[in-house]
Amino acid sequence: MATIIDGKKLAKEYRMKLKSRCDDLKNKGINPKLAVIMVGNDKASQVYVKNKSKACEEIGIIFEEYLLDENIKQEELINLIEKLNQDDSVNGILLQSPIPSNLDINEAFQKISPNKDVDGFNPLNVGKLALNQDTFVSCTPYGIMKMFEAYNVDLTGKNVTIIGRSNIVGKPLIQCCLNKNATVTVCHSKTKNLKEHTQNADILIVAIGKAKFVTEDMVKDGAVVIDVGINRDENGKLTGDVDFENVEKKASYITPVPGGVGPMTIAMLMNNVIKATENSKF
């Protein structure tokens, strides 16, 4: 039976440490602030933003929400980002995705000041990650790397297989794992013989968005399995991309859903806001 990587507990420990860093800033008269922009009424985004707001409240970060109408023009979105870039009281800017498809999200991410880019989506920060330079790392990959650290999972020389090549999870994970000296394979919807790649993985990271997609037969004995997926099963229950019940019997470490990667993602966002504030004031 695998050791369960307890993301909920780990994230709480991180938030406690961040609260103490936030208190230090406040004692110096500096109040960290996160501005979150949401366009339209995506239901899942509303839940994610609410969770981010709760985490900010717990740590003592000021949370400012900008709710924009789904019919907003690109220019208005960019104007708001530029206004927040100029505002010295704002330390972090987050544009919640998805946004309506008529808007250009890449241009919007590019406009967010690299110094306030707490999601790590500005191309400059993406490039810095590729060069293994200090930067804001996209929160989900960053949270996964912190889990490895906390559970002493050494990536050196390990075969890491990532399923999913999204800009927010799969691609930054490639760099994070390479930077830790892993041998990285990336699989996606066009990959042939997926099972061959997954069976070869000492560490398997799954970010697809398909409930219980990864089954026991796809996993090597003793593998570390990280499940990023958030899905609802046939009974409406929250479930990951991995068939947890069966894969758990074969893995050495595994993350649950819920209570695995999700809480760590939010904790790393909070980390990035505190880091942005510290960077701006000293």
**Residues forming the active site:** 52, 96, 119
Cα dihedral sign for 14, 227, 179, 127?
Answer: negative
- Give the residue with the Cβ less far from ligand NAD, 22 or 169: 169
165 part of the interface to ligand NAD, by CB under 6 A: yes
Among 26, 50, 83, 188, binds ligand NAD (CB under 6 A): 188
CB 81 within 8 A of CB 111: yes
> CA separation (Å) from 19 to 112, 168, 177, 264?
25, 26, 28, 15
| Of 25 and 96, CB closest to ligand NAD | 96
Is the distance from CB of 257 to CB of 230 less than 8 angstroms?
yes
Smallest distance, ligand NAD to C-beta of residue 184, A: 15
Task: Tell me whether residue 32 or residue 164 sits nearer to ligand NAD (CB atom).
Answer: 164
Instruction: Tell me whether residue 91 or residue 255 sits nearer to ligand NAD (CB atom).
Output: 255
SS3 272: helix
The residue ranges of DSSP E strands in the chain, in sequence order, are 3-4, 33-39, 62-68, 92-95, 159-163, 183-187, 203-206, 224-227, 231-232, 238-239, 253-254
Least Å distance between CB 168 and ligand NAD? Answer: 5
Q: Which of 11, 218, 230, 274 binds ligand NAD (CB under 6 A)?
A: 230
Residue 265 interacting with ligand NAD (CB under 6 A): yes
Q: Which is nearer to ligand NAD, 142 or 182 (CB)?
A: 142
Pairwise CA distance, residues 109 & 118, whole Å: 11
Neighbours of 19 (CB within 10 A): 16
Does the footprint of ligand NAD cover residue 169 (CB under 6 A)?
Answer: yes
By CB under 6 A, name the one of 122, 229, 248, 272 that touches ligand NAD.
229
State which residue, 156 or 189, has the beta carbon closest to ligand NAD: 189
* Amino acid identity at 265: T
Nearest distance, CB of residue 228 and ligand NAD, angstroms = 4
Inter-axis angle of helices 139-150 and 170-179, nearest 10: 40
Compute the least distance from the CB of residue 167 to ligand NAD, in Å: 8
Restricted to residues 189-218, the positions that interact with ligand NAD (CB under 6 A) are: 189, 191, 194, 207-209
Residue 261 touches ligand NAD, criterion: CB under 6 A: yes
Q: What share of the chain is helix, strand, coil (3-state, %, to 5)?
A: 45, 15, 40
Q: Please report, as residue ranges, which positions from 50 to 69 form the binding site for ligand NAD (by CB under 6 A).
A: none
How big is the site for ligand NAD, counted in residues (CB under 6 A)?
Answer: 23
Question: CA-CA distances (angstroms) from residue 81 to 108, 112, 123?
Answer: 8, 6, 16
- CA pair distance 278, 92, nearest whole angstrom: 11
**Is there binding between residue 238 and ligand NAD (CB under 6 A)?**
no
The residues binding ligand NAD (CB under 6 A) are 140, 163-166, 168-170, 187-189, 191, 194, 207-209, 228-231, 261-262, 265
